[in-house]
């Protein structure tokens, strides 16, 4: 059983030919709203793509924006522990999505900023606590320390990127980052291998987009090539990966198998619009894993090893 503590936002998405540069105005096309927020996305991924019992601690305003967020979480089977913040609006994110599937995101946290250390529910029965950095860092740190004391595995997706205190890093069992976040957290501008050397966390997983991902798990290196898909919208793909990986590990899968499963889930999320709406079902993930059983061929792994500068 997994507890996710984190953000819930309503995403306002505009499609455009390209993401505007500073000072540039771009004429967009389609506009839609989608349930989002890193915490909520990852909770839905744990439940839907991972197929595990999932709870979520979140904060919402008393407004119309909260309604679709609650409906999406309930629809995925996530049990909510909701803090109501009547003086704050529900969090929102403004997303520009290019025709190439790339995105630029601005977040207004709103009610997410109201989560405090005392809001963490009892940890009895939970095997993993999944955290991100879209809620106050004081709360994230307190939740991680409480989980460590209770013997619960702490999984931290260090996004949005920021330097982390030794206190927080010392309570983390699994750190999930992309390449840019890895550089920020490790405070190293060298290769991926160099950055990993700077971190003492037992397990560090680095996502590398279309190249795949890598992990240093208890001193052992793992490489996973990417699954081949035609991307439509990358929003939420990283969150899908985080949720699916946490779910797979909570079910006792090996790190290698969990990376493969999470990579397939993240790839499928790129083929659909929206964040939570793009998260696949577990049966779809397994189908892709079986369809592309040879994804880790020698050439792909060699290219990934070179990219990371592993010797």
Catalytic residue numbers, as ranges? 239
Cα distance between residue 299 and residue 210, in whole Å = 14
- Residue pair 108/88 in contact (Cβ under 8 Å)? The answer is no
Strands, E, within 17-78: which ranges? 28-36, 54-60
Task: Report residue 169 as tokens.
Answer: 């890093």
Cα distance between residue 201 and residue 167, in whole Å = 12
Q: Is the peptide bond before 160 cis (omega within 30 degrees of 0)?
A: yes
Residue pointed to by tokens 């520009």 = 96
Cα distance between residue 168 and residue 137, in whole Å = 9
139 CB contacts (<8 Å, ≥6 apart)? Answer: 5, 115, 116, 117, 119, 120
- Residue pair 182/206 in contact (Cβ under 8 Å)? The answer is yes
Strands, E, within 1-76: which ranges? 2-5, 9-16, 28-36, 54-60
Instruction: For residue 41, give the 3-state DSSP assignment.
Output: helix
* Sign for the pseudo-dihedral over CA of 257, 263, 264, 266: positive
β partners of residue 222: 215
Cα distance between residue 85 and residue 172, in whole Å = 29
């Amino acid at each position: 059983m997994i507890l996710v503590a984190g953000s819930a936002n309503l995403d306002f998405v505009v499609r455009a030919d390209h993401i505007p540069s500073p000072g540039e105005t771009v004429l967009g096309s389609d506009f839609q709203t989608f349930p989002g927020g890193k915490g909520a996305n990852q909770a839905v991924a744990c439940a839907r793509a991972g197929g595990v019992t999932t709870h979520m601690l979140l904060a919402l305003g008393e407004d119309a924006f909260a309604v679709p967020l609650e409906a999406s979480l309930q629809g995925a089977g996530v049990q909510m522990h909701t803090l109501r913040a009547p003086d704050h609006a529900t969090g929102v994110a403004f997303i520009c999505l290019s025709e190439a599937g790339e995105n630029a995101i601005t977040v207004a946290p709103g009610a997410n900023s109201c989560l405090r250390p005392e809001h963490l529910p009892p940890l009895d029965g939970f095997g993993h606590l999944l955290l991100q950095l879209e809620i106050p860092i004081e709360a994230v740190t307190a939740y991680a320390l409480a989980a460590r004391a209770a013997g619960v595995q702490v999984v931290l997706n260090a996004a949005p990127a920021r330097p982390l205190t030794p206190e927080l890093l010392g309570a983390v069992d699994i750190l999930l980052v992309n390449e840019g976040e890895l550089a920020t957290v490790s405070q190293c501008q060298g290769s991926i291998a160099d950055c990993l050397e700077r971190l003492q966390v037992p397990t560090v997983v680095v996502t590398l987009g279309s190249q795949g991902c890598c992990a240093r798990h208890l001193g052992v290196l793992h490489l996973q090539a990417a699954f081949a898909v035609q991307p439509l919208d990358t929003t939420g793909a990283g969150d899908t990966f985080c949720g699916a990986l946490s779910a797979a590990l909570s079910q006792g899968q090996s790190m290698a198998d969990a990376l493969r499963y999470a990579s397939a889930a993240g790839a499928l999320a790129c083929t659909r619009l929206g964040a939570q709406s793009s998260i696949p079902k577990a049966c779809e993930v397994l189908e892709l894993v079986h369809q592309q059983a040879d994804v880790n061929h020698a050439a792909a792994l060699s290219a990934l090893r070179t990219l990371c500068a592993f010797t």
